[in-house]
């Protein structure tokens, strides 16, 4: 691991000025130059979502530092108001209320799980504010909160369809068993998307093995899946459960390929020997490990390593960075942080060059159509296996 390089003197001075400002500074949406523009950032920094959310928050912080080093927004510095959702629905609702209702923030970014993002989206909708989720991939978020909520990421249906296409076209499998966390909206979305596309492409889903998240008997689930005799297993689960299932399938002697969603893009899974030494593939938002395969990714990797001293651990780091970039573009375009102006500015974004791909919105669609990256392992090292446009 390389030691962090020192920040440029200008960046140090700008950051010092920005963070010296009181967090309850001038009212957001006030005249240019009257105080910091405050953006809420709600992430789970503890609990089972931390392996996804912690790098995403650091990506958001990196974006804010770069914006401030370049002069801020509308002549004002930017400050993040951070909130820890603790991977708990009861906590996230209270934190969202604090950011929107108590602090009066016009916009909040964050979260990587649909169940946790849902109360934030609903509150933003009821208050007429804006929510840009960096990594919660549930399409129902924009259906339930159509005026307020924007996804910086692709949807579960898109990534699951991409996995099904890859299974048929590149792996050549014809049968699949689905391992599904029955308490997760994320898992339910993945199941729907994979099943629909896999069967449309001539494959056959021969079994579904459901399990309750948080109380997982991995040996029993793995044994039930193996008994189905499927060519492949599609695991629709969050990182902790996914890691346990991958390990259990390997321990039970299965050599059938495993496919999963972007929850696999976590050190909890990608650092697991059972994942790196067998046929395991997952969908994600961008391939960040070296060697870089895209100029935007290479620039992001370099900035991240200069700031934090080691490479980013997952694509969720880039999603947090892109979410702030989208908000910044909307603020510049609107010339204001007034929520209605921000919403209209976000809806006018076309082909925003995000690290995780080109992002466009319109008034009817707040979910970007983005390519899906497929990552697998060669000799224990993650490699980009394909890029799929569902």
Cβ-based burial of 198 (10 A; exposed 0-12, middle 13-18, buried ≥19): buried
- What's the Rg (C-alpha) of the chain? 21
H-type alpha helices, the chain: 9-20, 50-69, 89-97, 114-127, 140-144, 156-166, 185-200, 218-227, 239-251, 267-270, 273-276, 295-308, 316-334, 339-347
pLDDT tens across 67-92, in order?
999 999 999 999 999 999 999 999 99
Share of the chain above pLDDT 70, in %: 91
Mean per-residue pLDDT over the chain, rounded:
90
How far is residue 86 from each of residues 49, 124, 169, measured CA to CA in Å? 8, 20, 39
- Enumerate domains of the chain plus CATH numbers: 9-154+293-359 (3.40.50.2300), 156-284+373-388 (3.40.50.2300)
Both tokens of 316, joined, read 């969720």
- Collapsing DSSP to helix, strand or coil, 179 comes out as strand
**pLDDT given at position 10:** 32
16: pLDDT strictly greater than 60: no
**Rounded CA separation 51/313 (Å):** 9
Residue in 336, 157, 353, 303 with CA at minimum distance from that of residue 236: 157
pLDDT tens across 238-286, in order?
999 999 999 999 999 999 999 999 999 999 998 888 777 778 999 999 9
Partners of 109 in the β-ladder: 41, 132
pLDDT tens across 175-194, in order?
999 999 999 999 999 999 99
Quote helix, strand, coil % in the chain, to nearest 5: 45, 20, 35
**pLDDT given at position 273:** 82
**Three-state SS letters, 199-247:** HHCCCEEEEEEEECCCCCCHHHHHHHHHHCCCCEEEEECCHHHHHHHHH
Q: Which residue has the higher pLDDT, 47 or 16?
A: 47
pLDDT tens across 138-172, in order?
999 999 999 999 999 999 999 999 999 999 999 99
**pLDDT given at position 378:** 77
User: Picking from 18-32, 59-73, 188-202, 206-220, which range would have the lowest pLDDT averaged per residue?
Assistant: 18-32
**Which helix (H) or strand (E) segment is 30 a member of?**
none
11: pLDDT strictly greater than 80: no
pTM equals 0.89
- Collapsing DSSP to helix, strand or coil, 41 comes out as strand
C-alpha 29: how far from chain center:
28
Band the pLDDT of 28: cuts 50, 70, 90. low
**pLDDT given at position 270:** 87
């Amino acid at each position: 691991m390389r030691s962090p390089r020192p920040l440029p003197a200008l960046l140090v001075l700008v950051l010092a000025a920005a963070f010296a400002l009181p967090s309850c500074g001038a009212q957001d949406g006030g005249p240019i130059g009257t105080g910091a523009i405050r953006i809420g950032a709600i992430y789970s920094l503890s609990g089972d979502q931390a392996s996804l959310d912690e790098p995403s928050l650091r990506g958001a912080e990196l974006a804010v530092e770069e914006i401030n080093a370049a002069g801020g927004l509308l002549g004002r510095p930017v400050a993040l108001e951070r909130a820890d959702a603790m991977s708990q629905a009861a906590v996230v609702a209270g934190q969202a209320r604090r950011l929107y209702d108590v602090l009066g923030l016009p916009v909040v970014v964050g979260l990587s799980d649909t169940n946790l993002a849902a109360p934030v989206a609903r509150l933003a909708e009821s208050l007429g504010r804006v929510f840009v989720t960096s990594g919660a991939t549930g399409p129902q978020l924009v259906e339930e909160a159509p005026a307020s909520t924007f996804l910086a990421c692709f949807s579960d249906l898109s990534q699951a369809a991409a996995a099904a296409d890859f299974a048929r076209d590149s792996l050549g499998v014809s049968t699949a068993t689905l391992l599904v966390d029955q308490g997760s909206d994320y898992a339910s979305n993945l199941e729907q998307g994979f099943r629909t596309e896999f069967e449309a492409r001539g494959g056959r889903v021969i079994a579904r093995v459901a399990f309750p998240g948080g109380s997982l008997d991995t040996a029993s689930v793995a044994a039930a899946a193996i008994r189905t005799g499927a060519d492949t297993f599609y695991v629709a689960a969050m990182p902790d459960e996914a890691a346990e299932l991958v390990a259990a399938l390997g321990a039970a002697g299965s050599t059938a390929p495993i496919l999963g969603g972007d929850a696999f893009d976590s050190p909890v899974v990608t650092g697991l020997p059972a994942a790196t030494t067998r046929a395991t593939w997952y969908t994600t938002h961008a391939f960040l490990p070296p060697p870089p395969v895209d100029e935007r990714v290479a620039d992001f990797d370099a900035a991240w390593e200069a700031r934090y001293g080691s490479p980013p651990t997952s694509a969720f780091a880039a999603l947090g960075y892109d979410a702030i970039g989208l908000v910044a573009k909307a603020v510049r375009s609107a010339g204001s942080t007034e929520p209605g102006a921000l919403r209209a500015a976000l809806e006018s974004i076309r082909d925003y060059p995000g690290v995780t791909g080109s992002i466009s919105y319109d008034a009817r669609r707040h979910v970007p159509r983005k390519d899906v990256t497929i990552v697998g392992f060669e000799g224990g090292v993650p490699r980009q296996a394909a890029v799929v446009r569902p």
